[in-house]
Structure formats: C-alpha cells, structure tokens
Amino acid sequence: MNRQAQTVVLFLTGGGLLHAGFTDLYLRYVKAGLRPLLIGAGVVLIAAATATVWYGRKQSENRDPQDSQKAHTHREPRVSWLLVLPLLALVLVAPPAAGSYTAMRTGTALQEQPWGYPELPADGPLRLSVADYAGRAVYDKGRALADRELKVTGFLALGGDGTPYLVRMALNCCAADAQPVKVALSGDLPAVLQPDTWIEVTGTYTPKQAKDPVNGTAIPFLDVTATKPVKAPQDPYDEAWNG
Amino acid sequence: MAISQEAGSKEAVSKEAVSEEAEPHSRHLNSPLLLTMLLVLAVAAQGPIRSVLAAPVTQSWMTVFVAVVVQALPFLVLGVLLSAVIAVFVPASFFARALPKRPALAVPAAGMAGVVLPGCECASVPVAGALVRRGVTPAAALAFLLSAPAINPIVLTATAVAFPGNPEMVLARFVASLLVACAMGWLWQRLGRGEWMRPPERPSYEGQSKGAAFWGSVRHDVMHAGGFLVVGAMAAATLKAVVPASWLNAAADNWIVAILALAVLAVLLSICSEADAFVAASLTQFSLTSRLTFLVVGPMIDLKLFAMQTATFGRAFALRFAPATFALAILVSALVGTVFL
C-alpha cells in the first residue's frame, strides 16, 4: 500500500467515523457516551491524512527527485486494505442494531437491583421499560403492578417454540456485548407477529414465569390486552446501566 | 523459514518499487485505482449485495463486525496518539529515570503504571510498542501491556457496577490481573530472547521535523494496527453470530471445564475490557471463579489482540507470548478465585 492509498483510506475512515458520529447511525453500534470520542477520532484520522499530503509535498519540494523516490518506497502491509471493509459496511449497508436474531441466541440479562424498586405513581396507566417490568415482576413479585394497566415498548422476537417475546437490548459498550431483557407475551395478540417490529404493548401483570432456555434465568409473562405498532426509538438500546 | 519469507517479501516489494519507478505512468493496477474500482463496483452492485445481506445471520455478523471496529477505533487512535507522543516528544532518558534500574523491579512498577491508561486493550498495544522502541526494558513494557487494560479505574468501576452483589470480584480482578502481568514480565526477563521480538520496523524519523515525525508515526500505527483490528473483529463477529450460546450450558457443570470454557470464550469473543464485566455478569450459570477467569484472560489475550500483537512485535513473539499468557492467566485466576471468591 503506497502513501497515496494510505492517505485515501485514512481520510475515508475518518470521514466514516464523522458520518456515524454526526448522525444517529452510531447509536446502532456503540453507546451514546462514545460520541465525542468517535468524532475526535474521525478528526484525528482526517488530520493524519492531511498531514501526510502536506509533508509529502514539502518533502518533494525540498529534496532532489532521487531522494523522494526512495521515501515513497516504504509500504505498509497488505492487511491495511482491510480497513476499507468496515467502512463499506458502515456507509453502504449500515447494518441494523442487534435485533431478534441475537436476542433469541443470548440469555436474558435480568439482574436484581440491589437498591430495590422505587414506588410508582399511584394512578393512570403505567409506562415501564422492558427491564423495569421484568425486574419488578421477577424480583419484586409484581408488588406494585397488580391490577394496573401497563404500557411497555420493545421489539418482537419469536422463540423456537413460537412463544412471542417483547425484547429490549441492553448495551454497555458496543453491540458485541448487547444483551436482551425478555418478557414473554400471552393473551390478546395480533395474528401475524413480525420479528423485529417495534410495538407498544398494553397489558396487565401475571405471576406466570418461564425459564430462558439459554441461561436458565427467569422470564416473566405479560398478559396483553392491546398492541400498537410504534416507531423505533432514537437509541435502539436500553442504556440505563450506563447511568 | 521466517527469514526466507521475509527476504522473499522484501524482494517482491523492491521489484514492485522498481517497476513503478520504471514506468510511472503505466496503466497497471495501483492501489488508488484498485480502491476506486472497488468503490464503484460496490455502488453498482448495491441491489444484489443488499439482498444477500438481508439474512439474519449476515446482518447480525455485520452489526457485530461494524460495532467492534467502530468501538475500538477511537481507543486505537488514542493509543496511537500517545505512542506518537512517546516516540517523538518524550526523550528516551525520561524512561531510564522514571523506571527502576533493575528489570526485576521495573516490571511491577510498569505493571502498576497501567492504572493510568484509561481505555481498553486496543490502546495499550501501540503504547507498549512505542515504549520498547524508546528503550524501556521489554519485560517492563510487556507487564504494562497486560495490566493496563484490566486494572484502570474505568474497567474496575464497570466491574463493580456489573457485580453489585460481589464487590470482592473487583479486588480479585485487580490482584489476578496484576499478578499475571508481573509474572509474564519476569518470565520474559528470564526466558525471553531478543530475536523473538522483531524490532518494530518503521521508517526512520531522523532528519524530519517533529510534526512530520509525529504524523508519520500516527499514520504508520493506524494502518498497521487498524488492519489487524479488522481481522480480529471479523473473527469475533463470526463467533458471536454463528456459535450458539446454549453450547456453554453443557460446560457450566464441571468446575474445571467451566474455567477452561470461559477462558476460551474470552479469547474468541474479543470484547472490549470496559464491557466484558457485564457479559460475565450475565453468564449466571457459571461459578464466580470461572467468570473471574473470563475477566482476567479477556483483556490480556483475545483474537483481536493477538492479531495486533503480531503486527507490532512480530509473529515469532506473538506465537510464544500469547499461549504463555493464556495458560498463566487461567492458572492465576483459578488460584486467586479460590482465595478471594
């Protein structure tokens, strides 16, 4: 790989990072907090490309032609070409956030909150996150949930035996460590369930529970009365753990 | 054999260089042209490519692949900048004064210094490379390489958050990681040979202005480590997307098998050390000791790191260093786990 090609790859990689950082694209792959670092890295890479062009030009002005030819013979290994691949994937394909396929292959990541579960507002329909509902249902025995109308938003996934799940992926750093929190759905469901569609489920607490076939952790059920398709949230991941 | 290969590749390079010098305006494939053609082809064939990529397996593969690269690049850039600062602006005499003279003492000092590099393992490889080039004892630089991604405050805080019910996990991780890092440093001190570690090849910066040398170093490191980072990301994505997690359940019952299984998993998954604690926390079917092994092995050796170490220190080094680190990390974390957990 010669200098020119290196400059192009550096510039494009930096541009790709800036593209992801300045749109919401980066939220599909990494946690929201990484944004400044992404933009910073993009700027540094573009600066490195610019500096390569700048100093290359200065060098060829100052030195006699034989010398500058010698300087150009230093090459980087061919493996550097691979840097083009993630760039193509990011810009041309823009793969979706981790979805139902990953969710069904990974055990539910439900954990008990050590500081307990705070009181909920006393009246009106309750809006809960998937993880909040699952945590209260499993570890708080649904104490504050019984006989309340609940609204939970997540995406659909179908288990191997056809059980529908409402899932939200939790993220700590990047999509490689994304883990699902699952709530199994029972009751009044639409006839056609399309995995990976985002829905808002209205329903009530039920003490019924199942075990995740992957890691044996408890999965609570939610008794559904109505479903409504909704737009995917800006950040597809639940980042509550990141504070 | 390695020598003959190297000689062969050098010959090839010089031949290429000669042919380019001889006919600078010929129309043979050069790298910018190839790059342009690749991009045009990708844009033209967008439709078919997209339909192939619509399968869930490929989608999940690509998501993980892009995610690992996007997540690691900022830290790689951070490490590369630090390494360029060390290479260009910090005089070699600084390290001679900062570290104890005796290598046996320099190793733990460098290991403890890992506390100050806030980042994940991608940043530590180029920094360790720069330290070696700056005349730091390789044993000390290696101790730093292994300890920095595991014992910095960000990683330890993440571990504490991920294991709210087991604060002793944080202490166990710190102790085990530091022990392995120092032991590997001393081991290299005793048994390591200079010729295994290829003196990192790079253009000489003599006679260049500091700015040119700085950006030259940045470009060189990004191109080298970046390419290998992509290799590691591809391997990790393949494993994450193809191997079912339920395979692990079979391993969880026997304690020795559990430790070995999670050690191998840490190598294969190549998760950033800032996030691995959360993954370990979700592997609830495994014992705490085997999960500690996962946390100790992961930041020290995984597919991505192995590829990057090969790029920085050479294959002869990586092939010896990686298995030794792997074995020692398993041993030490099993012992520390028995004591602390």
Q: What's the pLDDT tens digit per position in B19-76?
A: 444 444 445 567 778 888 888 888 888 888 777 777 888 888 999 899 988 988 888 8
Q: Which of A76, A93, A110 is the last residue of a domain?
A: A93
Please report which helix (H) or strand (E) contains residue A156, including its range: strand A150-158
The confidence score (pLDDT) of residue A118 equals 83
CA of B333 vs chain A CAs: smallest distance (Å):
22
Residues A115 and A76 in one domain: no
What's the pLDDT band for B118 if we cut at 50, 70, 90? Answer: low
What's the pLDDT band for A220 if we cut at 50, 70, 90? Answer: very high
| Chain B positions in Cβ-Cβ contact with residue A102 (cut-off 8 Å) | 60, 63, 240
User: b or e along A22-51 (b: 16 or more beta carbons within 10 Å of the residue's beta carbon)?
Assistant: eeebbbbbbbeebbebbbbbbebbbbbbeb
The confidence score (pLDDT) of residue B119 equals 65
Average pLDDT over residues B114-119: 74
Residue A204, SS3?
strand
Which of these ranges, A74-83, A130-139, A141-150, B317-326, has the smallest mean pLDDT?
A74-83
Give strand pairing partners of A118. Answer: none
Among the partner residues B32, B236, B245, nearest to A176 by beta-carbon distance: B236
The confidence score (pLDDT) of residue B222 equals 87
Please report which helix (H) or strand (E) contains residue B260, including its range: helix B255-269
Q: Which of A71, A93, A115 is the last residue of a domain?
A: A93
Residues A132 and A227 in one domain: yes
Q: What is the crossing angle of helices B138-151 and B121-133, to 10°?
A: 160
The confidence score (pLDDT) of residue B201 equals 56
Average pLDDT over residues B173-182: 95
Mutate to test the interface with A, among B66, B81, B155, B234 (most CBs of A within 10 A): B66
pLDDT value at B5 more than 70: no
Average pLDDT over residues A101-129: 84
Those residues whose C-beta lies under 8 Å from the C-beta of residue A135, and which sit 6 or more positions away, are A110, A111, A112, A113, A117
Please indicate whether, in this complex, the C-beta atoms of B227 and A81 are within 8 angstroms of each other: yes
- DSSP code of residue A226: E
Residues A168 and A238 in one domain: yes
For chain B, give every domain's residue range: 66-198+206-340
Range of the domain at A44: 3-93
Residues A27 and A72 in one domain: yes
Residue with tokens 């969880």: B252
Among the partner residues A9, A96, A215, nearest to B285 by beta-carbon distance: A215
Q: d(Cα A243, Cα A172) in Å, to the nearest integer?
A: 10
Average pLDDT over residues A187-199: 90
Q: By the CB < 8 Å criterion, does B167 face chain A?
A: no
Using an 8 Å Cβ cutoff, are A172 and B158 in contact? yes
Residues A153 and A235 in one domain: yes
E strand intervals along A14-147: 126-128
Q: What is the mean pLDDT of chain A?
A: 86
pLDDT tens-place string over residues B233-257: 887 788 778 777 667 777 888 889 9
Residues A114 and A44 in one domain: no
Closest CA to B251 of B292, B283, B296, B280: B283
pLDDT value at B11 more than 60: no
Residues A44 and A110 in one domain: no
Angle at the Cα of B322 from the Cα atoms of B318 and B327, rounded to 5 degrees? 160
Residues A69 and A143 in one domain: no
CA of B47 vs chain A CAs: smallest distance (Å):
10
The confidence score (pLDDT) of residue B207 equals 65
Question: In CATH, what number is assigned to the domain containing residue A172?
Answer: 2.40.50
Average pLDDT over residues B268-284: 78
Residue A223, SS3?
strand
Record the pTM: 0.78
Average pLDDT over residues A35-39: 94
Those residues whose C-beta lies under 8 Å from the C-beta of residue A111, and which sit 6 or more positions away, are A135, B164, B281, B282
Residue with tokens 């790029």: B311
Please indicate whether, in this complex, the C-beta atoms of B284 and A107 are within 8 angstroms of each other: yes
What's the pLDDT band for B147 if we cut at 50, 70, 90? Answer: very high
Question: Residues of B numbered 311-330 whose beta carbons fall under 8 angstroms of chain A's beta carbons: which are they?
Answer: 311
Residues A75 and A130 in one domain: no
Number of domains in chain A: 2
Please indicate whether, in this complex, the C-beta atoms of B66 and A80 are within 8 angstroms of each other: no
pLDDT value at B8 more than 60: no
pLDDT value at A63 more than 70: no
Residues A70 and A138 in one domain: no
| Chain B positions in Cβ-Cβ contact with residue A74 (cut-off 8 Å) | 203
The residue type of A234 is: Q
Residue with tokens 């035996």: A161
Provide the residue count of chain A. 243
Please indicate whether, in this complex, the C-beta atoms of B73 and A5 are within 8 angstroms of each other: no
ipTM value for the complex: 0.90
Please indicate whether, in this complex, the C-beta atoms of B63 and A97 are within 8 angstroms of each other: yes
| Chain B positions in Cβ-Cβ contact with residue A101 (cut-off 8 Å) | 56-57, 59-60
Structure-block tokens of residue B20: 């380019």
Structure-block tokens of residue B7: 């000689």
Residue with tokens 């009181």: A119
Q: Which of A60, A93, A126 is the last residue of a domain?
A: A93
The confidence score (pLDDT) of residue B3 equals 40
E strand intervals along chain B: none
| Chain A positions in Cβ-Cβ contact with residue B315 (cut-off 8 Å) | none
